[in-house]
Structure 1
Amino acid sequence: MTQGLVIGAGPAGLMAAGEMARAGLSVTIAEAKPSPARKFLMAGKSGLNLTKAEPLASFLDHIDGPDALRKIVADFGPEAVQDWARSLGQAVFTGTSGRVFPRSMKASPLLRAMLADLAKLGVELQRNWRWIGMHGRQMVFDTPDGEQVLTPDVTVLALGGASWARLGSDGKWVSILAENGVSYEPFKPSNMGFFVGWSDHMARHFGAPIKPVRVTAGETSTLGEFVISARGIEGSAIYAVSRAMRDGAPLVVDLVPGRSEADVAQRLAKPRGKASLTNHLRKALKLDPAKIALLQEFARPLPTDPAELAAVIKAVPICHQGPRPMDEAISTAGGLPFTALDDGLMIKVLPGVFACGEMLDWDAPTGGYLLTTCLATGRHAGRHAAEWAG
């Protein structure tokens, strides 16, 4: 029987293994950690966001990569991801924001269903097998039983990016591929928080959510929320614009996205009597203490003219000291460039070796785009690996 190997047991790798096994290959998965999909499980702790229920064209606009990647995602987009989850016995629902979650909200039931499905297909999972080298078709691993060498007919690499090293994505695979003539793009953090040097009066607001707000960086803008932390700002709205911020675009925040600037100015122009400006902002605009503190932190001294103050409230400039370290980022850009791959995601200079998931050079925000793209590329690589082996 044709032997297939998948290195890495995250969502992309598991998808690839399933496609290869269904095509009739005898498949082994080699995972460096004691258990599979650790980053996937961590991401699902606060609610596993599988995908985003929106028109495909709009969904693909959030994927920063070549047209070849967007075509792969189009072949396994939001609707297909939901159908796939249901096929594994995992009911899904769509939240008010359009984000799609499993009914259980957790990643573990879906992961167990994926592993059970692979077990029925005869896929073998080797744990604590760290990939340390390759010689032609031979793949070398450091294992609890010493060095092991496998010589599969076809291999799919699903080794992740370079964030959250403790969960398995450490980016160390680049040195192995470089030794075999494969170039890569340097890694950059993505979907990450940013450092802010807060003044002392902000300490009481650490942990406070800032919502709802519209955050804008460059041409990227999103409605959502973020959190003030002791080290800076983080959360879904910041992650959505983090790529633009990383590339130098300034960040501005609209604290009252449901009101026009003229409406805000009109409300602020009403007599406030003996009320302090803080109380006036609270009563006139329903600003909570954390929003007022953020406004005062970055726009002090506040303008006294209602029109000028309204303009500031609608576009508070947030000064930061750059992104948090790459290992704290949810994902990374960089990795294997698509120019090094053929249409089936096979590495051109390594016939029979395919790649998928976050180790490829693309970028996407959280909110379902990131996970859907990992699943889609794993499926695509697995299918084409099986065809190549056949």
Structure 2
Amino acid sequence: MADIIDIDAAVIGAGPAGLMAAEQLAQAGARVTVFDGMGAPARKFLLAGRGGLNLTHSEAMPEFLTRYGAAQARLTPAIEAFGPQQLRAWADDLGQPTFVGSSGRVFPVAMKASPLLRAWLRRLDAQGVQLRLRHRWTGWDGEGRLSFDTADGPRSIAARATVLALGGASWPRLGSDGSWSDLLAAKGITIAPLQPANCGFVAAWSALFADKYQGAPLKNVALSFGTRTVRGEAVITRDGIEGGAIYAISAALRDAILAEGEARLSIALRPDLSTDDLAARLTKPKGRQSLSTYLRKAVGLPPAGIGLLQEAAHASGVALAALPPAELAALINAVPVRLVGTAPIARAISTAGGIAWGEIDADYMLRKLPGVFAAGEMLDWEAPTGGYLLTACFATGWAAGQGAAKYLG
């Protein structure tokens, strides 16, 4: 296959960050080709949209920006330039209006990623952006050209500017396997180790508990770790626990496990009731009811919650039925769960780590590789679910595309 030697810009990675960078370059008049190793674009984006695409969040910008933790200062210019409001206007312009849900999260009215992606690809095609699939990037050749593995063999591409948007290392079967980190490290680029983010955790369950309750939900609970408390839902897995409320505090839990080998999570099973209210309910005569029936009727605990109580009591070497009402009430709203590891990065929603911020300039260009830009999850940032992940991917893609267009003049 003949080389493409006459393009202005190559964008590697056809996810939200890459496609947004391509759009900015095309609008600036550049000839752009997007390369992706998979057989279809935006595979992970489509997966994220199956349950209703959470595009962004409606909260005020000062609070919104705090969700990016240590990377807040570096991400702020891009998100202020192309943040929630601009993202919603962009979707509306594609014929995909959005709405704000009861939680403040923003979704397309269609509640799917596929209509938005189709409209976006049509626009890019009209702008002259070319898409080359099944092109797996393998670095640079001896002449500084981009190298790819394709079905027809190795291929070299010459481009005046390159935007790398290859994602992190979660869901590798959808294309983002993190293999780029070795390619950039070989060029002297500092890469913070890729770690799971918005991930589940391994708990020291007994075999009996794991067999009985794997897959069981814990609804309307409050999870606490350190100074953070999050209301929401979680799911018991055979190996541990996962779910939206867990993801919200996953960074702190992960870092504690890395530093200390474990983290102690506290779960309030009835957070709307005070300890005194629970204790009062637990003073009612138990009669001939089983303990499980009594806890279900007296304080409204579901089977999984009761099982979690029994698991915690067993681990502590106490008999749950022997606890006085005040101690049982305290345990119900502070069930200790010992977490001893993170779920594999391949199962995480996103990743932390990536290209160190000191390696890129204000235009998202790699200082050691002039003309090469980076965007999306390749960079060293993380954020909770709720629209923050996608917003930063779009925003950094926008910024890298603007930077590459500026570099091309």
Could you say which TM-score interval applies, normalised by the shorter chain? over 0.9
Alignment CA distance shift 1:145-1:322 (3 Å): same
Equivalent residue in structure 2 for 1:352, among 371, 378, 393: 371
The equivalent of 2:87 in structure 1 is 81
Q: Is the Cα contact below 8 Å between 1:6 and 1:29 reproduced in 2? A: yes
The equivalent of 1:263 in structure 2 is 277
Structure 1 residue 202 displacement after superposition: 4.6
Q: Is the Cα contact below 8 Å between 2:66 and 2:72 reproduced in 1? A: no
Name which of structure 1's ranges 329-338 and 39-48 shifts more when overlaid on structure 2: 39-48
The whole-number CA distance in structure 2 between the counterparts of 1:286 and 1:36 is 47
SS of alignment partner, residue 310 of structure 1? helix
Equivalent residue in structure 2 for 1:275, among 269, 279, 289: 289
Structure 1 residue runs of 4 or more that deviate by more than 6 Å after TM superposition: none
The equivalent of 2:385 in structure 1 is 366
Q: Does 1:227 align with 2:231?
A: no
The whole-number CA distance in structure 2 between the counterparts of 1:59 and 1:238 is 19
Structure 1 residue 76 displacement after superposition: 2.3
| TM-score normalized with structure 2 length | 0.91
Amino acid at match of 1:256: R
Amino acid at match of 2:352: A
The equivalent of 2:183 in structure 1 is 176
Between the aligned residues of both structures, percent identity stands at: 51
The equivalent of 2:53 in structure 1 is 48
Structure 1 residue 316 displacement after superposition: 0.8
SS of alignment partner, residue 159 of structure 2? coil
SS of alignment partner, residue 250 of structure 1? strand
The equivalent of 1:119 in structure 2 is 125
Equivalent residue in structure 2 for 1:98, among 104, 124, 128: 104
Equivalent residue in structure 1 for 2:149, among 142, 164, 179: 142
Alignment CA distance shift 1:353-1:368 (3 Å): same
The equivalent of 2:3 in structure 1 is none
Name which of structure 1's ranges 297-306 and 123-132 shifts more when overlaid on structure 2: 297-306
1:264-303 superposed matches below 5 A? 264-300=278-314, 301-302=319-320
Task: Give a deviation string over 1:332-356, Cα, whole Å, max 9, x none.
Answer: 1111010111011110011111000
Amino acid at match of 1:291: G
SS of alignment partner, residue 24 of structure 2? helix
The equivalent of 1:71 in structure 2 is 77
Structure 2: state its 5+ residue gaps.
1-5, 257-262
The whole-number CA distance in structure 2 between the counterparts of 1:242 and 1:296 is 25
Alignment CA distance shift 1:22-1:98 (3 Å): same
Amino acid at match of 2:233: E
Task: Give a deviation string over 1:354-388, Cα, whole Å, max 9, x none.
Answer: 00000101111112111111111111111111111
The equivalent of 1:339 in structure 2 is 358
Name which of structure 1's ranges 183-192 and 264-273 shifts more when overlaid on structure 2: 264-273
The whole-number CA distance in structure 1 between the counterparts of 2:57 and 2:271 is 22
Alignment CA distance shift 1:74-1:198 (3 Å): farther
The equivalent of 1:109 in structure 2 is 115
The equivalent of 1:323 in structure 2 is 342
The whole-number CA distance in structure 2 between the counterparts of 1:375 and 1:146 is 32
Alignment CA distance shift 1:2-1:172 (3 Å): closer
Equivalent residue in structure 1 for 2:215, among 204, 207, 211: 207
SS of alignment partner, residue 106 of structure 2? strand
Structure 1 residue 274 displacement after superposition: 3.6
1:9-28 superposed matches below 5 A? 9-28=14-33
Q: Does 1:251 align with 2:258?
A: no
Structure 1 residue 35 displacement after superposition: 0.7
The whole-number CA distance in structure 2 between the counterparts of 1:202 and 1:327 is 22
Q: Is the Cα contact below 8 Å between 1:356 and 1:381 reproduced in 2? A: yes
Structure 1 residue 146 displacement after superposition: 2.4
Alignment CA distance shift 1:201-1:334 (3 Å): closer
Q: Does 1:7 align with 2:7?
A: no
Q: Is the Cα contact below 8 Å between 2:65 and 2:72 reproduced in 1? A: no
Q: CA RMSD in A?
A: 1.8
Task: Give a deviation string over 1:182-231, Cα, whole Å, max 9, x none.
Answer: 12111111111112334314533322211011112223321110111223
Q: Is the Cα contact below 8 Å between 2:264 and 2:339 reproduced in 1? A: no
The whole-number CA distance in structure 1 between the counterparts of 2:357 and 2:222 is 33
Task: Give a deviation string over 1:243-271, Cα, whole Å, max 9, x none.
Answer: 11111242111111212222222222333
The whole-number CA distance in structure 1 between the counterparts of 2:211 and 2:101 is 33
The equivalent of 1:307 in structure 2 is 326
Q: Does 1:156 align with 2:163?
A: yes
The whole-number CA distance in structure 2 between the counterparts of 1:314 and 1:263 is 11
The whole-number CA distance in structure 1 between the counterparts of 2:235 and 2:24 is 40
The equivalent of 1:191 in structure 2 is 198
Structure 1 residue 7 displacement after superposition: 0.4
Structure 1 residue 38 displacement after superposition: 0.9
